[in-house]
Amino acid sequence: MMGGSLWISTEAAFRRRSFIAVLPLVLLLSAARVRAQFMGNSLDCHKTCVCASNIISCPNKNLTNVPISLPQYTAVLDLSFNSITRLRAEWTSNKLSKLHTLLLSNNNLNFLSSEAFVYVTKLRYLDLSSNHLRMLDENIFEPLEHLEVLLLYNNRISQIDRTAFSSLLSLQKLYLSHNQISRFPMELVKERSRLETLRLLDVSSNRIKALPLHEIQALPAWIKNGLYFHNNSLPCNCDLYEVVARWYLKELSSATDFKLSHTCLLPGPQKEKMAIMDLDKVYLNCTEVRITDEIAYLEQFLVLDCDTRQKDMMKNWTLPGNIPLPPAHKTAEMRKDGSLQIGPLKAEDSGVYTCYATSDSFNETLYVTVVVFNTTSSGGLENLKTAYTTLVACLISVVMVIIYLYFTPCRCACCPDQGLEKNEPGDSLHSSTVSISHEETGQERVEGGGFPYRHVAFLEPKDQLEQNGRLNPIGEEDEEWQGDNRERRRSDAESVSSVCSDTPMVV
């Protein structure tokens, strides 16, 4: 009996010792399983991946995590079409300083750690498209200062922090189409906050209901050429039509490549879609958009933009008549930004100015027609001033004539208080003249150059007919007047005839 008890106690002790010895192994296996679940399996270039030099390709292998122990020389890592749902901070323990391309599309990815890209700061191409991402937090891409292309299309993104992309100083292309974005990210393209290297921003096929059209229209052509906003829920209006129509006339890719996809919603319960380019014909009857000439006036200064579809192109201008712009021109000067300043303008400055833009991969020619009116910009005001001056001058002339006629002192013998000596009726010269006689040589002239004796005679109608328009300058009488027994005074040949007038008549 005692032997049986001893055997049982020995067996129990042995079991306890065995359990204690096996426990660490069980824990180790559990930890390995957990690590495999969160960290992934080691890289296998024979079964799960294809390793070609510095390229590691593991697409469509049903991976749930990123393989561990990636070599440091890895340059391209393709993990697309797998089941990786979370990208944690520790997805790689090695600093992959040579990795420039990371492909994670079609993975049902729904979580990005804020430290997910700490060890891959040299990335230039990142593909996170066709996943289940819902929001982009603040500075989530902060370590990726060398990133050039970021693909986020076909996700479920509805919220984007305004600083999510602010640290991407080298970003050139950003794809955000086919999401649930309701706000246009103007901070990415407007002048003071935009990413200077960004050349393509695709926000098409989202839920954007309003666009800052005036700010968008003011952007340079090299930004508008790569700004895609088609297939959104935009309301139809003529401002929207003007923007799209101008882009289409300038042959911007964002308008010409997706002309039929640029639609808007008509007001009403049915929310019917209509092509934006048809708004000038059917519904709103918007004014047709045409590219107009540059209009200016004499003495003005005018700046002609060479608004190219690519940035940092080499630009050269030619003047009207296809004359190359000389280095030192009197009225035309090329500015640092490639625009041409002309002025002060003259009428002969009218014509077609041509900008030739060239780069390693693209050439573009822009024509600007300048029309200079042969007047100044204030011509209307100057004409008004001239008319006013002429009117004042006329009024002054009328006043002076009135003063002259009615207020000038009269020096004629017929005026009152001039001491006119009455002659007898027969003593008439039969002429409408004022005869100034100075037979009396001893009498001096009065002050002012006049004579003290002035004789005024007026012809009666009968006498005028008898005289038949003839004057007798020496005082000789016609035979018809010889019945008059009075001796007529002869007029001096130098006598001045006048009827209260300043016009002298020598008789």
Question: Are β-strands 496-497 and 505-506 bridged in parallel, bridged antiparallel, or unpaired?
Answer: antiparallel
The pLDDT tens digits for 74-90 are 999 999 999 999 999 88
Looking at per-residue confidence, does 389 or 155 come out higher? Answer: 155
Q: Is the pLDDT of residue 17 over 80?
A: no
Q: How far apart are CA 332 and CA 227, in angstroms?
A: 33
Query: Which residues are registered as beta bridge partners of 222?
Result: none
Phi, psi of 38, deg, nearest 5: -95, -30
CA neighbours closer than 13 Å in the CB half-sphere of residue 314 = 5
Q: Confidence class of residue 41 from pLDDT cuts 50, 70 and 90?
A: confident
Model confidence at 36, pLDDT cuts 50, 70, 90, reads very low
pLDDT(48) > 80: yes
Hey, what amino acid is at 242? E
Backbone angles phi, psi at 20, to 5 degrees: -65, -35
Residue 239's contacts (CB-CB under 8 Å, 6 or more residues apart) are 213, 214
* Residues above pLDDT 70, as percent of the chain: 70
Confidence (pLDDT) at 78: 96
CATH number for the domain running over 301-377: 2.60.40.10
pLDDT at res. 23: 52
Q: pLDDT by residue (tens digit) across 119-149?
A: 999 999 999 999 999 999 888 899 999 999 9
Of the candidates 182, 76, 78, 82, the residue with the CA atom closest to the CA atom of residue 135:
182
pLDDT band at residue 371 using 50, 70 and 90 as cut-offs: confident
pLDDT reported for residue 128: 97
Specify the DSSP class assigned to residue 228: E
Q: Distance between CA atoms of 27 and 21, rounded to whole angstroms?
A: 11
* pLDDT at residue 32 is higher than 60: no
Least confident of 108-122, 139-153, 333-347, 384-398: 384-398
**How confident is the model over 193-239, as pLDDT tens digits?**
788 899 999 999 999 999 999 999 989 889 999 999 999 999 999 89
Mean pLDDT of 167-191: 93
Q: Which CATH architecture has domain 37-278?
A: Alpha-Beta Horseshoe (3.80)
Q: Is the pLDDT of residue 437 over 90?
A: no
Bridge partners, 456 (sequence order): 434
Cα–Cα distances (Å) from 349 to 147, 294, 317, 356, 424, in that order, read 47, 12, 14, 19, 82
pLDDT in tens, 441-464: 444 444 444 444 444 444 444 444
| pLDDT (mean) for 317-335 | 85
CA 411/CA 414 separation, integer angstroms: 8
Q: Which of 5-14, 135-144, 148-157 is the most confident on average?
A: 148-157
In this predicted structure, the answer to whether residue 117 has a pLDDT above a threshold of 90 is yes
Ordered by start, the domain boundaries in the chain are 37-278, 301-377, 379-408, 420-507
Q: How confident is the model at residue 65 (pLDDT cuts 50, 70, 90)?
A: very high
